[in-house]
Amino acid sequence: MRHALPLILAAVPAVAEDRPVLEVYTYDSFIAEWGPGPAVEKAFEASCGCDLRFTAAGDGAALLARLRLEGARTDADVVLGLDTALTAEAEASGLFAPHGIDVPPLDLPVAWEDDTFLPYDWGWFAFVHREGFEPPASFEALADSDAAILIQDPRSSTPGLGLILWVEAAHGVRAGAIWEGLADNVVTVTRGWSEAYGLFLEGEADMVLSYTTSPAYHLIAEDDDGFRAAPFEEGHYMQVEVAGMLAGTDRPALAREFLAFMLTDGFQSAIPTTNWMYPAVIPEDGLPEGFDTLVTPSTSLLLPPGEARDRAEEGIATWRDALSR
């Protein structure tokens, strides 16, 4: 206890001098010491003459909920960490302003047309398995196999919602039949990504719903070549993570400066090995070694924001009916 106190005091940030403060709301894992936050803060503060402050709130969904709770009185200048399943709701809240910056060419597999939200990274959802397991090559093959899978609840987890949209986008009216076929493959449905991935690492299932980039973590950070993502014939649904500036910000110029900075190397080069996603603009030095070993899906699926919102509701109902039987 005597040792704990100085540690805590040391952790309280020093009061900044008179530099302007840019308040950025983001999700929790962004600001962890192993996340992109520290590197991004250092790089931006080196050029902006400002104090960049991150405030974290749970995951992407909690982030939007917090913003809506605070409404117009929020201190946030920029929100970073919503994904494409949430942008329609975010846009409808009326809290965001058009970014108004010149967007550099983006390295996304889909065209990006959004005046409000700018992408900073993206990934493909995929089922991840260990080397040596023969993965099925489509949802139908998965349903016919006896492979055991771990998935997340779409009502409490963004990857879980991503899987719903994946099945919707790839199979449309047949989504119900696909889910009925998958029901006996599902070991359990967890509340969040962490629980499912943790159970998978402890050997509880053949595959877990995650991202095509997950094997890169094990390869680069742990020097473990034993993980693979299973390519599916129907293509893979994308998650695009975005940022936007608040309409009520009192520092619009600084907020815009940050959004422009977000698409430069100072920000983008931190993404692959901290957030373990693809950067929206590939840095000058290219992707880190190891990313070249990852699966590249032949087809990228992504529903437009409004449609994603509507289909998510239907999709969850379909999922609920199919798995309740």
Partner 1 sequence: MAGRALALITAAAVAALALGPLLVVAGSADAGAMRPADWAALRFTLVQAALSAAISCLLAVPVARALARRAFPGRGVVVALMTAPFILPVIVAVLGLVAVFGRAGAANAVLGWVGLPPVSIYGLSGVVTAHVFFNLPLAARLILAGWEAVPAERLRLAASLGAGPWATFRLIEWPLLRTVLPGALAVVFVICLTSFAVALTLGGGPRATTVELAIYEAFLFDFDTGRAARLALIQAALGLGAVGLGLLVPMPRLAGGLGRAPRRWGGGGKALDAVLIALAALFVAAPVVAVVLRGAVHVAALPPSVWVAAGNSLLTAAASAALCLLLALAIAIGGGRLEEGVGTTAIAISPLVIGTGLFLAVIPFVDPAELALPVTGMVNAVMALPFALRFLVPAARRIRATQGRLSASLGMERWTRLRIVTLPGMRREIGAAAGIAAALSMGDLGVIAFFADAERATLPLQMYRLMGAYRMDEAMGAAVLLTALAFGAFRLCDGWGARGAGRAWRVRRAAA
Closer to partner 1 by CB, 137 or 317: give it. 317
Residue recorded with tokens 């991935």: 197
123 binds partner 1 (CB under 8 A): no
Considering only residues 13-52, where is the footprint of partner 1 by CB under 8 A?
13, 28-29, 31-35, 37
155 binds partner 1 (CB under 8 A): yes
How many chain residues touch partner 1 (CB under 8 A)? 65
Candidates 108, 199, 247, 282: give the one binding partner 1 (CB under 8 A): 199
Q: Return d(Cα 101, Cα 247) in angstroms, integer.
A: 15
Report in angstroms how near the CB of residue 258 gets to partner 1 at its nearest: 18
| Sign of the alpha-carbon dihedral angle for 23, 245, 280, 223 | positive
265 binds partner 1 (CB under 8 A): no
Report in angstroms how near the CB of residue 204 gets to partner 1 at its nearest: 5
Task: Please answer whether residues 117 and 242 qualify as being in contact, where contact means their C-beta atoms are separated by less than 8 angstroms.
Answer: yes
Closer to partner 1 by CB, 189 or 287: give it. 189
Task: Please answer whether residues 138 and 231 qualify as being in contact, where contact means their C-beta atoms are separated by less than 8 angstroms.
Answer: no
320 binds partner 1 (CB under 8 A): yes
Candidates 116, 138, 145, 156: give the one binding partner 1 (CB under 8 A): 156
238 binds partner 1 (CB under 8 A): no
Residues engaged in binding partner 1 (CB under 8 A): 1, 3-5, 7-8, 11-13, 28-29, 31-35, 37, 54-58, 61-62, 64-66, 68-70, 73, 89, 148, 153, 155-156, 161, 186-195, 197-199, 201-205, 214, 217-218, 221, 276, 319-321, 323-324
